[in-house]
Amino acid sequence: MADQKKMVEAITSRDVDFAKWYTDIVRKAELADYSSVRGCMVLRPYGYAIWENIQKILDAKFKATGHENVAMPMFIPESLLQKEKDHVEGFAPEVAWVTHGGSEKLNERLCVRPTSETLFCEHYRNIISSYRDLPKLYNQWCSVVRWEKTTRPFLRTTEFWWQEGHTIHETAEEAVEETLRMLEIYAEVLEKHLAIPILKGRKTEKEKFAGARDTYSVEAMMHDGKALQSATSHYFGDDFARAFGITFQGRDNTQQYPFQTSWGMSTRVIGAIIMTHGDDNGLKLPPDVAPIQIVVVPVAQHKEGVLEAARELTARLKQNWRVKLDESDNSAGWKFAEYEMKGVPLRIELGPKDIQEGQCVVVRRDNRQKYFVKLEQLEAQLPGIMEEYRQAIYQSAYENRAAKTFTATNLEEMAAHADDGYIKAMWCGKLECELAIKEKFGITSRCIPFEQEKISDTCVCCQQPAKEMVVWGKAY
């Protein structure tokens, strides 16, 4: 156990320094590394495997709802980006520009895409002429570049990987329905597949996406009480269509403007997984996205028959699970610590005594609970144990959020909990109050939840009649 203790001590305690704890896990669990380009990370195989599993889940859901994958260029001409005023103003501080091709100065600067709305609009203008051409339900998997001032792996990087959905519709009703449908898909993925409880709601005018009429988000609370915007879905109305001259012949033979949406989830959800579920021993990965769902550790593997039995068991389990057999010469204690660090949901221990008794020991990552399971019953019992683990890490995150959610009816009550987590408070709807709260406490409106509560009759800031409840908090 000395090796295990030494390895655990290499991680800063999350209660001592949460930011350092996070960075330690990213590096020591081999999720990502820094590169020579400021703010850009190397997504290592283990980290990329988590993203691949998230991709598979999302991509299947997108295709099941009629979406098709496409690929757009990396570069956007400056004149194209300038066509939608609010959009370009929102992204202007973050844009990276290409000014030269080889040794020649370009006649027009090219923007390295921060997002692809303008590119999709240009394409739609070329391919849509009639209502029969609608809807177009597109999605793109790519990386984008935003010149961030302060960066942290996964949470905020200059280049990051994501999917961006872009759809265009005949009617406003269809586009609004699409916007909310995709938000529900994100909520399902986060809650069911990533075991992260979320809040769903609409963003305020100040916080909405540049160029959108409405932005909706799913917000997750991290262990330290800060929020992480985990995915967004935007309704554009026909504003982009008008700016880009996209029209179609309607069913009544008149020229009409179509209605658009966009929606996205990025690799920052890996940061959400780390900060929601991780502990001082490392990662705790949700089973659906864990690169290794089960690790088989032979105990006293030098003894006759142990490795052979472990290999045979691993081959059996690989039919239904992502399984790794560690037959290295490291000690069992080192292996236990290594795979706890990597967040593997279940560990199976198999030693001479177990073989003799026709059993194995299944150990859960979250609480180290042990299950002594007969080998012939293992395939039947594993799904239940895995589901118990998934529900347990979800419940732990849910209870953490509940314990760090407060209500406030005035600024004094808001001040008391500004650093503690979410604050539910009523709001008059005025920008001045939203800005005043941010200025006083360093907290922002996370969303206007779909599930409204009446905390009081008056705005938490100005004490004038309240319009709606907002969840406020500090965020990554």
Asked whether the predicted pLDDT for residue 451 surpasses 70, the reply is yes
Cite the beta strand spans of 303-428 per DSSP E: 323-325, 346-350, 359-364, 370-374, 405-407, 422-427
**Closest to 271 measured CA to CA, from 160, 141, 182:** 160
What is the pLDDT, as a whole number, of residue 285?
Answer: 98
Render pLDDT for 388-434 as a digit per residue (tens, 0 to 9). Answer: 999 999 999 999 999 999 999 999 999 999 999 999 999 999 999 99
Instruction: Select from 3.40.50.300, 3.30.9.10, 2.40.50.140, 3.30.110.30 the CATH code of 405-473.
Output: 3.30.110.30
Q: Is residue 94 within 8 Å of 159, Cβ to Cβ? A: no
Q: What is the pLDDT of residues 240-267, one digit of tens each?
A: 999 999 999 999 999 999 999 999 999 9
Within 10 Å of residue 97's Cβ, how many Cβ atoms?
12
CA distance 117 to 91: 12
pLDDT single digits (tens) 139-154: 999 999 999 888 899 9
Averaged over 230-245, what is the pLDDT?
Answer: 97
CATH of domain 16-74+120-277: 3.30.930.10
Quote the tokens at residue 5: 């203790």
Q: Which residues, 6 or more positions from 6, have their beta carbon under 8 angstroms from its beta carbon?
A: none
CA 286 to chain centre: 13
Looking at residue 9, what is its pLDDT? 54
Write down the domain spans for the chain.
16-74+120-277, 294-392, 405-473
What does the pLDDT look like over 42-74, one tens digit per residue?
999 999 999 999 999 999 999 999 999 999 999
pLDDT at 411: 97
pLDDT at residue number 5: 46
pLDDT of residue 84: 72
User: CATH topology of 294-392 equal to that of 405-473?
Assistant: no
pLDDT (0 to 100) of residue 1: 42
Instruction: Give the list of residues 6+ apart from residue 150 with CB closer than 8 angstroms, or none.
Output: 156
Three-state DSSP at 202 gives strand
Q: Three-state SS string across 243-303, please? A: HHCCCEECCCCCEECCEEEEEEEECHHHHHHHHHHCECCECCCCCCCCCCCEEEEECCCCC
Confidence of residue 90 (pLDDT cuts 50, 70, 90): confident
Report the C-alpha gap between 295 and 281 in whole angstroms: 16
User: What is the C-alpha to C-alpha distance for residues 423 and 418, in angstroms, rounded to an integer?
Assistant: 8
Please give the pLDDT value at position 3: 47
Enter the pTM of the model.
Answer: 0.94
The answer to whether 420 and 443 have CB atoms below 8 angstroms apart is no
Tens of pLDDT, residue by residue over 332-341, are 999 999 999 9
Q: Which residues pair with 298 in a beta bridge?
A: 350
Taking residues 106-127, report their average pLDDT: 96
> Please, which residues have CB within 8 angstroms of residue 86's CB and are 6 or more apart in sequence?
210, 211
Where is 138: in which H helix or E strand? Answer: strand 136-145
Dihedral, CA atoms, 426, 427, 428, 430, nearest 10 degrees?
180
Rounded to 10 degrees, the C-alpha dihedral 223/449/231/19 comes to -20
Name residues whose C-beta falls within 8 Å of residue 132's C-beta, 6 or more positions apart in sequence: none
Q: Tell me yes or no: is domain 294-392 CATH 3.40.50.800.
A: yes
Query: How many Cβ atoms sit within 10 Å of the Cβ of residue 453?
Result: 10
